[in-house]
Amino acid sequence: MGKKILRINMSDMQTSYEDVPEKWARWAGRGLTSAITYDEVDPTCHPLGPNNKVVIAPGWVTGSPAAPSSGRTSFGGKSPLTGTIKEANSGGLSGQKIAKLGLAAIILEGVPKKDKWYTLVINKDGVEFEDASGLIGKGMYDVDEILWEQYPNEPAVIGIGQAGEMKLSNAGISVNDPENKPGRYAGRGGMGAVMGARGVKAIVVDDTDGPGVDIADADLFKQGRRKLTKAIGKHDLTKKDGGLNAFGTNVLMNIINEAGGLPTRNFSAGQFEGAALNSGEKVAEIVEERGGEGMTGHSCHPGCIIQCSNIYPDEDGSALVSCLEYETAWALGANCGIDDLDYIAKMTRECNDLGVDTIEAGNTIAIAMEAGVLEFGDKEGALKTFDEIREGTPLGRIYGQGVEATAKAFGVHRVPTVKGQSMPAYEPRAIKGIGVTYATTTMGADHTSGYTIAPEIAGVGGKVDPLADEDKDALSLTFQAATAFIDSTGYCLFIAFPILDIEEGWAGMAESVAGVTGLDITGDDVIEIGKEVLKMERLFNKAAGFTPADDRLPEFMRYEELPPHNVKWTMADEDLDEVYAWVQED
């Protein structure tokens, strides 16, 4: 049985199961959400209006038997934060269950005629529209718990917190983790507001007795899976007891701080004196000391062999939040001048409950601190900003709109955003390769858009000098294209590390995709396929009104020197423009 696309129209409460048309047959994950958004969403539409959509798609290999670390779900549409196309992907339970129901994608479209909220229940028999009025006003911790009590078989719960109900631009989409907690987020870009605008509070996915995922060539799939699994198990960062397993993504806190690239106090410095107190090593120490439910090496979805997640314990050992990531510990920590992990964990829990992206939330608090609304380091004050959002006060609604709206409201000019989305935890003045990606990606400032891949592994010829500004454009494109491919596979982006350092892993990834889908894909095709995804995204943005002048880092980075290296952003605009110069309409 071929995969289907489930279309759910909230305007007339109709659903249909459609064959996947030829033009989309080769896509999955980000490739598919971007293809559908490109084909079906008017780039000039208002993101919260009736003509935007939420497209949900598991990756190529998601749901296939024992593909390692492959439980990602992509969420796409037009972003209310950036006005660009958006794909945000998440771990958690949803991807594998959607795939096992035989679905290539779910398209959520339209707006209910009445001002009413729904829970959509999707199983092998179809879709039910349930009244969600009892869930309105509730955070995701309650929503997940209530829906697991209400529905059998421990389903996936995709939902929005109060921020999504209020259609705030920083609202993310939550996916429950194996413990049914809302720790996994398609966080960036405000897709939670787009879901809220469809009148959908939650989507329950139960894959019981679903058809499962077809494997076109079992031998090729097994061969690819074996190579990839071996590479993940061998690499220092991803192996058992390796960097990610032992310290989580927060393994980076001390490294980036040592490199002078840790954005501190709203991007005014590259080092934070309290970095060690917020580090992954410190989280591991607290987990060991407090015991109880705390743990490192936690899986965000079944079948992950990297297990980089954690459960941060409260003082009494009870679970306070999962997961404390590097980006989160940085955004709510160094960037706000806060060096207390307990407070950072409490704020992270608030983000997970209200349904806001932790990176944008931390950057927003830093803007409020820069404006003098709060003092840098004021952890109590920072924590209370989330009460303002929950209560929907005018100030809370400003915070919930993210960095640019908050900066305008308070007259701040040091605004670390590109295309309306704030930067993650790498200072582009100190780590310039990542700056090129921030500036040019189709998504707004995003570190996951352009992973760094040695061109010789990616099969891209030519000699490049990574230190020369004029070569960084070519590198960034390669990185962005490979990332677009990985985001389409359903594999976690962290497989990038072993497959980049171990060539057999690179081939294994491509072979496993070819084995599941029957598509003729080898490691040599990865970059070209990724570029096709980028092209659709770039053309959508162009039609939405974006030009190369939007591919720039903020002005203050050109004139403010960043300590300790005392460097400015020096890359020429013409070099940035080269990254996407190849994109032309057919």
Binding site for other proteins (CB under 8 A): 235-237, 241-244, 246-247, 249, 251-252, 254-255, 258-261, 271, 276-277, 279, 281-282, 284-285, 326, 426, 430-436, 447, 451-454, 457, 466-467, 472, 475, 479, 494, 497, 500-501, 564-565, 567
CA-based nearest residue to 91, from 485, 487, 483, 480: 487
Q: What single-letter DSSP state applies at residue 114? A: S
Q: Write out the H or E segment, with its range, that includes residue 559.
A: helix 556-559
DSSP E strands in 266-342: the ranges are: 295-298, 309-313, 319-321
Q: Name the residue nearer to other proteins (CB basis): 245 or 385.
A: 245
Helix (H/G/I), strand (E/B), else coil: 392: coil
Q: Name the residue nearer to other proteins (CB basis): 168 or 576.
A: 576
CA-based nearest residue to 243, from 452, 433, 494, 457: 494
CA 502 to centroid of chain Cα atoms: 25
Q: Cβ(250)–Cβ(325) under 8 Å? A: yes
User: Which residues, 6+ apart, have CB-to-CB distance to 298 below 8 Å?
Assistant: 307, 309, 310, 311, 322, 323
- Residue 481: phi, psi to the nearest 5? -70, -45
Residue 585, class by beta-carbon neighbours within 10 Å (0-12 exposed, 13-18 middle, 19+ buried)?
A: exposed
CB of 60 to other proteins, least distance (A): 23
Helix (H/G/I), strand (E/B), else coil: 426: coil
CB of 375 to other proteins, least distance (A): 23
Q: What is the rounded CA–CA span in Å between residue 466 and residue 445?
A: 21
CB of 500 to other proteins, least distance (A): 5
Q: Cβ(221)–Cβ(177) under 8 Å? A: no
- DSSP code string of 527-543: HHHHHHHHHHHHHHHHH
Q: Name the residue nearer to other proteins (CB basis): 284 or 374.
A: 284
CB of 337 to other proteins, least distance (A): 17
Q: Name the residue nearer to other proteins (CB basis): 9 or 452.
A: 452
Q: Name the residue nearer to other proteins (CB basis): 221 or 426.
A: 426
Q: Name the residue nearer to other proteins (CB basis): 249 or 310.
A: 249
What amino acid occupies position 284?
A
CB of 211 to other proteins, least distance (A): 35
Q: Name the residue nearer to other proteins (CB basis): 32 or 430.
A: 430
Q: Name the residue nearer to other proteins (CB basis): 79 or 279.
A: 279
CB of 507 to other proteins, least distance (A): 16
Q: Name the residue nearer to other proteins (CB basis): 299 or 406.
A: 299
CB of 30 to other proteins, least distance (A): 19
Q: Write out the H or E segment, with its range, that includes residue 545.
A: none
Both structure tokens of 526:
């990865």
CB of 325 to other proteins, least distance (A): 9
In the β-sheet with 156-159, what is the strand arrangement from edge to edge? 126-131, 118-123, 200-205, 156-159, 173-175, 184-186
CB of 497 to other proteins, least distance (A): 6
